[in-house]
Amino acid sequence: MAIARVNGTALFYEIVGTGLPCLVLHGGMGLDHTYFHPWLDPLGDLLQLISYDQRGNGRSSPSSCENLTFDQLCRDADALRATRNVEHVALLGHSFGGFVALEYALRYPHRVSHLILVGTAPSFDYAEEIQANVQRKNPTAETLAAVSAPPPATDADFARLWHALLPLYFHNYDSVLMERAFGQTIYRGAAAACNDTLFAVYNVAARLGEIQAPTLVVVGDDDFVCPPSQARRLQLGIPNAQLTILSACGHFPFIECAAAFEATVRSWLAQIP
């Protein structure tokens, strides 16, 4: 575990593996990178997984919403790349981390060797589909209330909100597995409160054709928030992108369908020169 001091902030990161350098970008503002471990670690023979807490999140320095912009998050990612003394990196972006990965690939195309997009979307313009997916999953009253809750005011508020929402994010919800996945998470309510603003301005749909890097798109067939329809938009828009839809998986396929996810990434990497 280490700290990179870049762009006036401190980014907390850890490295697993010795393969191709790969920045691993976590989802939704308010979470951190810990839910990737140990699930992604077996890929360390192929990828040097550089997982970090984006500014304002987890163990990295706090940040105001004013400084939590896609431009700043991309500049942070590139500065972290530079600290590793590498010219090119792969990117693995999950959920909101996929938003940042796509923005980075458009801003720094000459730096991206591979792009792996997991449970993500090219824009956040499909609210009706999300609402329909929520209803399809027959949520409890507590979960349904959490869906429409206001932005969290504190870290504890966000932690409670997140755990109320978690059953929606998995095909088969398992409280023991959730504790393994999120038991080490440091929740940041101030960062989570920035999500609505970030979602409102995010839209790379019209620019997907500009992405040059080999791209793998992975989605669970039961992902309610970034469903297969959005993965197909990515596949159709990004030149030569490969799409894999994993069965009986929700928004975290590398946790819920770990073996299938690992096999998908390994197979795809073997095809890329």
Mean pLDDT along residues 26-39: 97
**In contact, 56 and 188? CB cutoff 8 Å:** yes
161-208 per-position pLDDT tens digit? 999 999 999 999 999 999 999 999 999 999 999 999 999 999 999 999
Structure tokens at 208: 């997907």
For the chain, the domain total comes to 1
Residue 224 in this model has a pLDDT that exceeds 80 = yes
Task: Please report the pLDDT score of residue 179 as a whole number.
Answer: 95
Residues near 227 by beta carbon (within 8 Å), at least 6 away in sequence:
129, 130, 133, 219
What single-letter amino acid sits at 267? S
Task: Please report the pLDDT score of residue 143 as a whole number.
Answer: 96
Mean pLDDT along residues 226-251: 98
Q: Measuring CA to CA, how many Å separate 150 from each of 61, 74, 90, 153? A: 24, 27, 35, 9
Task: Please report the pLDDT score of residue 1 as a whole number.
Answer: 75
Structure tokens at 238: 């990004």
Task: Please report the pLDDT score of residue 170 as a whole number.
Answer: 97
Share of the chain above pLDDT 70, in %: 100
Structure tokens at 153: 């005011």
Q: Note down the domain range covering 7.
A: 2-271
Share of the chain above pLDDT 90, in %: 98
**53/34 Cα distance (integer angstroms):** 9
**182/162 Cα distance (integer angstroms):** 10
Task: Please report the pLDDT score of residue 273 as a whole number.
Answer: 82
**70/59 Cα distance (integer angstroms):** 20
Half-sphere exposure of 220 (CA within 13 A, CB side): 24
What single-letter amino acid sits at 22? C
What secondary structure letter does DSSP report for 269?
H
Confidence grade of residue 32 (pLDDT, cut at 50, 70, 90): very high
Mean pLDDT along residues 93-122: 98
Task: Please report the pLDDT score of residue 202 as a whole number.
Answer: 98
**158/57 Cα distance (integer angstroms):** 12
The CATH number linked to 216 is: 3.40.50.1820
